[in-house]
Structure 1
Amino acid sequence: MATLSTTREDTPRAQRGLDGTPRRSSGCHVPVVPFLAMDALAALTASLAVLVLFDRWPVPAVLPAAWLLSLATQRAYEQHCLRAGTDEFHRVLSAAGLVAVAASVAWWFSPGAELLHDTLFALPIAVTVALVLRGLRQSRIRAGWRRGLRLERALVVGPDGAVAVFTALLRDGGTCELEAVGACGAEDTLEAVRRTGCDAVVVLPGPWLDADLLRRLSWELQGEGVELLLAPVLADVAAARLAVTPVAGLPLMALHGPTLSRLPRIPKELTDRLLAAVGLLLLSPLLLLIALVVRLDSPGPALFRHSRVGLHGREFTLLKFRTMCRDAEQRKAGLAGLNQYGDGAFFKITDDPRITRVGAFLRHWSLDELPQLLNVVAGRMSLVGPRPLPPDEVVGLPEEFRRHRMLVKPGLSGLWQVSGRSDLPPDERMRLDTSYVENWSTALDLRILARTPGAVVRGTGAY
């Protein structure tokens, strides 16, 4: 299998060594020192607060060292964690838990409650400062990736079909620290590594993969200073759901199930309703103005009410600003031949003749979706989730996908809305919705919400 892109001949001269072979990219390495400095600053801030407020020195004297040591035990300074920036919240909280346990043990053997009191007072400060500083640093790293800096050049090893899928995921995954610079078969790996000057080799699963091959690759790549990465069998699995578990001396990959129980989602529901209520209050003048403009633009009500399928298959009435003429539903059957998705479950027409002048503007800027904040306040929808579909479209979906989709509330925004909206093919939209359901987390919701304004401004697939 030939390499996909970069070879010795097209590698810039400045990136080659004296022997003409490509040099390893040093930009993909994330410096550890800034993270150590930020975590030390977080501990010093907490220590200073204890010293100023309580005038006691034992906890300020040991907290910085204990804090850095506990973070190190949680792998907070390993390169793959620094590059990916995933699960920061879990690692920092786990480190705080270790310090709290150590303080509890020390308090058990020492008189007085000052030690435990001061530790429990300082830890929330250290956690907050560390998370804020780490978040800012990761944002700068990702901004560099978006500008094409500090990308880790990866050689992909595996069957042609799997390589194509994997490289497409890298390309479409938004901010990513890996750049696929070539692909090859297992027997050509070492030669391709030397030709491309890659920083890492990603091995995809397949029947050809065995322990002897991986062991040989590991030794060869170590000699070349190249990282070896193994892709899991399942795609679209969040890193937080994967863990290596040693069993009888063998490293087995544990795949944790999706978070579908109601208890972990209670904070999400409360936050959804609170933010939606605040949004309605702040946006009420704009909502009234839009309603007036819609009524003046064309005959019919300002709001469009339509039945949609929600959590556990229960139907509810979706609210939107009306963007089509009043007889749009009656004209739908006559326009079936224009459906860009063919005769599939989804229905969408580019330049739909039923859309009004004001409606086109509202759709482009997603302003027609704002009344759905009422659905969120009522508990029928969430701020983030799969888009709510009409019953007739849900019936046409594959049974397994339909069942998974109904395990969560539909949302105002979601993965496929921030990844291309209506321009995405049906299979990709279903894949993204399934990925959201299976890999849901608060961090994923926050990332989607952060990407939503950009998707609205770009207007891609908004019609």
Structure 2
Amino acid sequence: MSAINPEHGRSAHVGSSRRPRAAHTQGLFLAANDVRRSFWTRRYARRLMFTDAAIVVLTLSVAVLALRAGGTRRMDVIGFEPVSYWVAMAVFAVVWLLALNVVDSRSEHVVGHGIVEYGRVVSGTVAGFLAAVAVAFFLKADLSRSLFLIAAPVGLLLLLASRWLWRQWLRKRQSFGAYLHRTVIIGEPSKVEHIASMIRSTGGTGYEIVGAITKWAQGEHELDGLEVIGDYRRAVAAIDQVQADTVIMASADDLSPKALRHLGWAMAERDVQWIVAPAMTDVAGPRIHARPVAGLPLVHVAFPTLDGPRRLMKRAMDIVGSSLFILLLSPVMLVVALLVRLSSKGPIFYSQERIGRSGAPFGMIKFRSMIPDADAQLATLLQQQGTSDTPLFKVTDDPRITPVGRVLRKYSLDELPQLFNVLRGEMSLVGPRPQRPAEVALYDDIAQRRLLVKPGMSGLWQVSGRSALSWEDALRLDLYYIENWSPAQDIAILLRTFKAVVMPEDTAH
């Protein structure tokens, strides 16, 4: 089989053991004169480098000025002449920036999307300061403790804030069609549709899907609104035609390893990004480990661990976080309680039975936002809108909500008392939203995995679409969160929750 037609794709027949010199020369000429790859990720990474350098220099300069103001001008080093703190901080700035570079915090493959970038900034900063501590220890240098108590956390926060601001700038440009990778997906039709659907339903990926290449010829079929621009034989010609700079390769039984190798050569000559999408989905980066064996790029996927130190760490975050939020938000809760009391008859708080971890019931506390007999009307309303058989009991335009309750729900203020559920250990700050016993009774084997962890005040699907999501999409996001939990992910979801509360799009469930 000829997967790449030499006439159209400038590549050799897959049955040949050698690549013809003419085709190779022609491919190199094309790479030099028809390079189409979008270099925005590289330019974006350079901008991050300059911003990182400015923040590091600013942070350490302020630290030195603070030390000088306190009377400390030089640093004593055993066996050497005293060193000016300006010199020491200049060396440390280089070490800090090198650490950020060593951990690939500005890699074009991670910047602009996901939490991996933020995690690497944290790792690089910690590594840089640990290196400084180690050097100071071995040289017996008198390094000021304020450098680590103030400069380190302040510098880290500024670095994370700058990355976030740059990402908002990038999202704004992408919303206007700029800074996007023109992407073609190659593979079996069902897998191409799945990948395209996942990318299109997730904002901020940076991929604009411009066509698909399958076993079908151009114009024969359409994949869920995605145009088939060619078959495997005309793959290179079709990619040239749409000026794609990225190719996502899904699995395809019709493509032999030799055909894939020749196609990869053709993409390398054009400087087109070559991405392989495995059939297994909803697996986060930390669980994926690539290992070459006998020339095969084997991908190892670690199973999720939900117990032990990870669960203790999450509980510690919940205790500290809920305590701080209760302390800071107590004036707001007092005002809300007064408004609920004065606006309508009934109690201030409303407790409803929900199902927690391992199926254990508990009373979830909320500020009352509905009329007193709201529960008695739920079944009738669900039946009227035809959603009584779906485990997501959400009533559209719910008539039971009071005027004050609509405001509370819009800004999620009615859910603030759940901080006490978190403090008591019944809930977590982040996790799948707790559901009623009647909803849990509709769970299948897959949905039962939601009960492996404590329910949360906020979750991945709340910040990814809130109540506009279908049950299937909400369940997929919940399971992704459970199987890929990390402290960084919890922090990212909490930050996105604050944004959703300040700029609400819909009421929370």
TM, length-normalised to structure 2: 0.74
Contact 2:337 2:367 in 1 (8 A): no
Residue 291 of structure 2 is aligned to residue 263 of structure 1:
no
Match of 2:327 in 1: 278
Change (3 A) 1:245 1:285: same
The answer (yes or no) to whether the contact 1:380–1:409 under 8 Å persists in 2 is yes
Q: Residues 208, 454 of structure 1: CA spacing in aligned structure 2 closer, same or farther, 3 A cutoff? A: farther
Deviations 1:98-141 (A, max 9, x none): 55675677668x65344798996876665455444334333332
Change (3 A) 1:293 1:417: farther
Distance 1:281 1:366, change over 3 A: closer
* Residues 187, 114 of structure 1: alpha-carbon distance in 2 compared, 3 angstrom cutoff: farther
Q: Distance in 1 between matches of 2:37 and 2:264?
A: 17
- Note if 1:173 corresponds to 2:202: yes
Structure 2: runs of 5+ lacking an equivalent = 1-33, 75-82, 215-231
Question: What is the Cα deviation at residue 223 of structure 1?
Answer: 1.3
Give yes or no for contact 2:370–2:402 (8 Å, CA) kept in 1: yes
Tell me the alpha carbon deviations over residues 182-228 of structure 1, each in whole angstroms, 9 at most, x when there is no partner.
Answer: 11124433122112112211112344465434322221111112111
Aligned with 1:343 (options 373, 389, 404)? 389
Judge which range, 182-191 or 117-126, deviates more: 117-126
Identify which range, 306-315 or 270-279, moves more after superposition: 270-279
Q: Which residue of 2 aligns with 1:158?
A: 187
1:237 aligns with 2:283: yes
SS in structure 2 at match of 1:228: strand
Equivalents in 1 of 2:313, 2:348: separation in Å?
37
Query: Quick one: structure 1 residues 391 and 79, their matched pair in 2 at CA, closer, same or farther if it must change by over 3 Å?
Result: same
Q: Which amino acid aligns with 1:36?
A: M
Pairing 1:66–2:86 present: no
Q: Tell me whether 1:221 sits opposite 2:270 in the alignment.
A: no
Using the TM superposition, name which of 118-127 and 68-77 deviates more.
Answer: 118-127
Cα deviation for residue 169 of structure 1 reads: 1.9
Contact 2:92–2:132 (8 Å) recurs in 1:
no
Superposition pairs for residues 111-130 of structure 1, below 5 Å? 112-114=140-142, 127-130=156-159
**Are residue 368 (structure 1) and residue 414 (structure 2) matched?**
yes
Alignment partner of 1:303 is 2:349:
yes
**d(CA) in 2 for partners of 1:155, 1:111:** 55
1:34 is aligned to 2:66: no
Query: How many residues are matched?
Result: 438
Whole-Å separation in 1 of the counterparts to 2:297 and 2:169:
34
CA 1:325 to 1:281, structure 2 compared with 1: closer, same or farther past 3 Å? closer
Q: Matches of 1:31 and 1:335 in 2, distance apart?
A: 51
% identical aligned pairs: 35
Does residue 421 in structure 1 map to residue 449 in structure 2? no
Q: In 2, distance between residues paired with 1:141 and 1:95?
A: 23
Where does residue 322 of structure 1 map in the other structure? 368
Contact residue 36 and residue 245 of structure 2 kept, 8 A: no
CA distance in 2, matches of 1:338, 1:388: 24
Distance of aligned partners of 1:76 and 1:334 in 2 relative to their CA distance in 1, 3 Å threshold: closer
1:46 Cα deviation from its structure 2 partner: 5.8
Q: Give the aligned partner of residue 380 of structure 1.
A: 426
Q: Which residue of 2 aligns with 1:16?
A: none
Aligned partners of 1:361, 1:106: CA distance in 2, in Å?
56
CA deviation string 1:357-407 (max 9, x = no partner): 5444544443432332332333322232211111221121113421x2123
Assess if the C-alpha contact under 8 Å between 1:339 and 1:348 holds in 2.
no
Tell me, in whole angstroms, the C-alpha distance in 2 between the residues paired with 1:422 and 1:374.
Answer: 24
Q: Distance in 1 between matches of 2:315 and 2:40?
A: 42
Is the CA contact 2:426–2:454 (under 8 Å) kept in the aligned structure 1? yes
Aligned partners of 2:357 and 2:451 also within 8 Å: yes
| 1:64-103 aligned within 5 A | 64-84=93-113, 86-96=115-125, 98-99=127-128
Contact 2:96–2:129 (CA under 8 A) maintained in structure 1: no
TM-score by length of 1: 0.81
Equivalent residue for 1:195?
241
Measured in 1, the distance between the counterparts of 2:325 and 2:130 equals: 39
Determine the C-alpha separation between the residues in 1 that align with 2:165 and 2:130.
29
Unaligned runs of at least 5 residues, structure 1? 1-20
**SS of equivalent residue, structure 1 residue 112:** coil
Indicate which of 211, 226, 239 corresponds to 1:182: 211
**Equivalent in 445, 450, 455 of residue 399 of structure 1:** 445
For the 8 Å contact 1:22–1:195, the answer to whether it is kept is no
